[in-house]
Amino acid sequence: MYHSCLLLVLLDLSLEVAASVSQTEIERHLDLGRDFLAKGQFQDALSHYHAAVEGDPNNYLTYYKRGTVYLALGKAKFALLDLDKVLELKPDFTSARLQRGNVLLKQAKFEEAETDFRDVLAIDPHNEDALNSLYKIAPVQEDMHKAEFLVRKGDHAEAVSLITRIIEVCPWAPELRELRAECHVALGDYVSAVSDIRSTTKLVSDNTRGYFKLSSLLYRLGQVDESLKEIRECLKLDPEHKECFPFYKKVKKVAKFLSDAETSDQTGDNKGCIDAARKALNNEPAVLNVRFLAFQLLCKCYAGTAKLEEAIKSCQDAMKIRREPGILCDSAEAYLAAEMYDDAIRDYKEALEQDPGLQRAKEGLQKAQQRQKVSETRDYYKILGVPRTATKKDITKAYRKAAQKWHPDNFQEGEEKKHAQKKFIDIAAAKEVLTDDEKRAKFDRGEDPLDPESGKHQHGFNPFQEFNHFHGSPFQFKFHFN
């Protein structure tokens, strides 16, 4: 009997010690939670409040404090669960009821919010916070009905204005963001629609529908990589989602082709760039902003292959979709390569109208104007029939061919011979300039090194001495000066 009583006493003592230690630990977590909350370190505060709730699941104040942290983190769903628990444990806790009413109002749950505010006023009739919040409900509900009517009527601009006003009172209502996003889409403002749908993915957990909408909108904007990122978020929640999965496959394919084309462009692989951009176009026949990206790549890469007709056409196809500084400069460069100076100057000027500080357009415009000026006198590249990218070997070869054709000794006296002499002099001048690095650089900058008016004319230039190296070859030249 004695031993049984002693055992019970010891057991009671051990339970008291355990309870004492447990309570001490709970208080420590609450103190740390409060300190972290004061510093704005909400995640750290939350972890300590979790521990305190686990230690004492019947303490309404601990739930209330944790609910406050959830609200600071924007996690209204979890905050509401804690506030519900607080009011279950202590129904007359007006601060918690007022807090819950405000959360419900922010979520546009008007009837539930009104019930909480009226319950607070039943206990504290002069509670100003409850009165002010209660007075907001009826006008906002009326605005909601008006907004829905405006959307049905197709007055989307007015609806956006009204919904924006409602969201100021109900910022945590995902349905309002979705409604405003629909209006933005109807108005063609996809950027604003993206912002609203992105908010719904944060306001609603496991929001596969929101991620699908967000990805679709980003894709329509031509933000293919961002679209791919968001559709993957949908598949993380549901790997076999009936809308997200097929859309993911399409976006992934287009993103790869565009990425391959960009990489090829950066490495100078023009053919690879063209092939990949064409595949992107074939896989996206409808969405214009995505097709714009492919056309812009074709514009640059065709210019790199000297297929200038294709380059210009691709630029024009891109500009039918969007006329922005980048593509205008790409187009101008294609025109410049094709020696269509007026068109190049026009596009550079338009780019500068849109972005007056764009250095690429400033430098390009100067180059186009200089080349146009040169073209009005002598264009040495044209004279020899070589591109501006021609090597010295190409230039020498073209010079030999042209000189053989136009040497004055090949022509009888008269106009033909005079014409040949002029051509021959131009051919020799072209060779002199284009095979001399310094003179060629000057010419490329828009100067003519042999222009007598520029003061840079090389005295003693003799076009016929260029043929000295032909002596002894099967093609013999005889020079006669009359």
Residues 445 and 126: their CA atoms lie apart, in Å, by: 82
Confidence of residue 396 (pLDDT cuts 50, 70, 90): very high
pLDDT at 310: 94
Greatest mean pLDDT among 53-62, 167-176, 423-432, 441-450 lies in 167-176
Residue-level pLDDT at 176? 96
Residue 3 has pLDDT above 60, yes or no: no
pLDDT of residue 482: 35
DSSP labels, 149-188: HHHHHT-HHHHHHHHHHHHHH-TT-HHHHHHHHHHHHHTT
**pLDDT number for residue 205:** 84
pLDDT score at 418: 79
- pLDDT given for residue 155 in this prediction: 96
Q: CA angle 391-394-398, nearest 5°?
A: 140
The confidence score (pLDDT) of residue 407 equals 87
- Give the tokens for residue 422: 């002029």
Reading the block at residue 188, the tokens are 């063609």
At 172, is the secondary structure helix, strand, or coil? coil
**What DSSP character marks residue 475?**
S
pLDDT of residue 267: 94
Cα–Cα separations (whole angstroms), residue 85 to 44, 110, 129: 22, 21, 22
- The confidence band for 453, taking pLDDT boundaries of 50, 70 and 90, is low
- Which residue in the block uniquely carries the two structure tokens 């260029």? 466
Residues near 400 by beta carbon (within 8 Å), at least 6 away in sequence: none
349 to 139, 365, 444: CA distances (angstroms): 52, 7, 21
Which amino acid is it at 267? Answer: T
How many CB atoms sit inside 10 A of residue 431's CB?
A: 23
* Tokens matching residue 453: 């008016």
CATH of domain 383-482: 1.10.287.110
CA of 233: how far to CAs of 177, 200, 290, in Å? 20, 14, 21
Whole-number Å distance between alpha carbons of 147 and 141: 10
CB atoms near residue 387 (< 10 Å)? 10
Query: Which segment of 116-125, 180-189, 231-240, 384-393 scores lowest on mean pLDDT?
Result: 384-393
CB 230 within 8 A of CB 214: yes
Query: Rounded to an integer, what distance in angstroms lies between the CA atom of residue 48 and that of residue 33?
Result: 5
* Alpha helices, DSSP H, located in 321-414: 325-337, 341-354, 359-375, 380-384, 392-406
CB atoms < 10 A from the CB of 421, how many? 15
- The pLDDT of residue 454: 54
Residue 19: is its pLDDT beyond 60? no
pLDDT at position 159 is 97
pLDDT-based confidence at residue 381 (cuts at 50, 70, 90): confident
The token duo for 324 is: 């922005």
Q: Which of 17-31, 130-144, 372-386 has the highest average model confidence (pLDDT)? A: 130-144
CB neighbours of 295 closer than 8 A, spacing ≥ 6? 277, 281, 314, 315, 317, 318, 321
DSSP 43-104: HHHHHHHHHHHHH-TT-HHHHHHHHHHHHHTT-HHHHHHHHHHHHHH-TT-HHHHHHHHHHH
DSSP H/E element including 115: helix 110-123
Cβ count near 482 (within 10 Å): 4
Average pLDDT estimate for 173-202: 95
Arithmetic mean of pLDDT, 318-341: 94
152 or 480: which leads in pLDDT = 152
Query: Given this model, what pLDDT does residue 55 score?
Result: 87
Strands (E) located in 202-298: none
Task: Tell me what pLDDT residue 10 has.
Answer: 39
Residue with tokens 């529908």: 209
Cβ contact 30:65 at 8 Å: yes
> Which of the four pLDDT bands, split at 50, 70 and 90, describes residue 371?
confident
